[in-house]
Amino acid sequence: AQSVTQLGSHVSVSEGALVLLRCNYSSSVPPYLFWYVQYPNQGLQLLLKYTTGATLVKGINGFEAEFKKSETSFHLTKPSAHMSDAAEYFCAVSEGYGGATNKLIFGTGTLLAVQP
Amino acid sequence: NAGVTQTPKFQVLKTGQSMTLQCAQDMNHNSMYWYRQDPGMGLRLIYYSASEGTTDKGEVPNGYNVSRLNKREFSLRLESAAPSQTSVYFCASSEVPGNTIYFGEGSWLTVV
């Protein structure tokens, strides 16, 4: 069965500092991996996804993530945090190539606070 | 540019009452999903429909039923609401595996 672990339910950084949100996954098949962001009282918005090919994936708002198969990780980074990045971030995994559906298994989320 | 539309946005139910959450997508997607979101637990899949005419259980299906009415619409029904079903419910859709999954804005349900 697939699963996702997000280390740190709350992360606080200063504006301009590096953002690092950790995600480890478990999957018996090649995975597709996703990061979503949720702003207060809103739905989820896709930040970036990894399916196949290049392991460094760039997303919206300056975020990127690297798929490391040997470490079963897909950590999210941003070089310089902005106040508008304050939100909850979810890592998710689904079956990869050949999977019958795209149903996602989510982590428990990381709430990012950005201090001025 | 509607995407995934859910109704109602807010609902308060009494224990034992029934209700249906409606969801429609206008992107001609094959697959649709219902998730619930609870604090500290992320999003958990309730039911999904890989294609029109099929539905399958997710992680937490107990107490819910679904209907894939047509390709556009996927409803979630609570037959006898319980306080444990107080949650935020999200409908989502996707075209094919690997493509982006799009979420609705959420439905806030409180069972008292």
pLDDT tens figures, A81-99: 999 999 999 999 986 665 5
Q: What is the mean pLDDT of residues B90-99?
A: 81
Say yes or no for a CB contact (<8 Å) between A102 and B101.
Answer: yes
> Which residue type is seen at A61?
N
Residue type, B29: H
**CB < 8 Å to A42, chain B:** 105-106
Tell me what pLDDT residue A100 has: 55
In this prediction, residue A80 carries a pLDDT of 97
Tally Cβ neighbours within 10 Å of residue A38: 20
Q: pLDDT value at position B19?
A: 96
Ordered DSSP codes for B51-105:
STT--EE-S--TTEEEEE-SSSBEEEEESS--GGG-EEEEEEEESSTTSPPEE--
What confidence tens digit (pLDDT) does each residue in A56-66 have?
999 999 999 99
pLDDT in tens, B20-74: 999 999 999 999 999 999 988 889 999 999 888 899 998 899 999 999 999 999 9
Write down the number of H helices and E strands in chain A: 0, 11
Q: Is the pLDDT of residue A104 over 60?
A: yes
Residue B25, min C-alpha distance to chain A (Å): 15
CB contact under 8 A, B101 and A34: yes
What integer pLDDT is reported at residue B1 of this predicted model? 60
State CA B100 to chain mean position distance.
17
Average pLDDT rounded to a whole number, residues A91-110: 78
Mean pLDDT of chain B: 92
pLDDT for the residue numbered A94:
83
Q: Report the alpha-carbon distance of residue B95 to residue B71 in Å, rounded.
A: 11
Res. B108: pLDDT tops 60? yes
Written as six digits, the tokens of B57 are 């259980």
pLDDT at A52: 83
B42 → closest Cβ in A41, A96, A107: A107
Distance from the Cα of A88 to chain B's closest Cα (Å) equals 10
Q: Residues 52-111, chain B: which have Cβ within 8 Å of A?
A: 56, 58-59, 90, 94, 96-106
* Selected residue with higher pLDDT from A91 and A3: A91
**pLDDT for the residue A96:** 61
Taking 80 as the threshold, does the pLDDT of residue B97 lie above it?
Answer: no
User: On the CB side of A41, how many CA atoms lie within 13 Å of its CA?
Assistant: 2
Chain B nearest C-alpha distance from A96 (Å): 7
Residues in chain B with CB shorter than 8 Å from the CB of A102 are: 31, 94, 96-99, 101
Residue A101 to residue A116: CA distance in whole angstroms: 42
Q: What is the pLDDT of residues A26-71, one digit of tens each?
A: 987 778 899 999 998 888 999 999 988 889 999 999 999 999 999 9
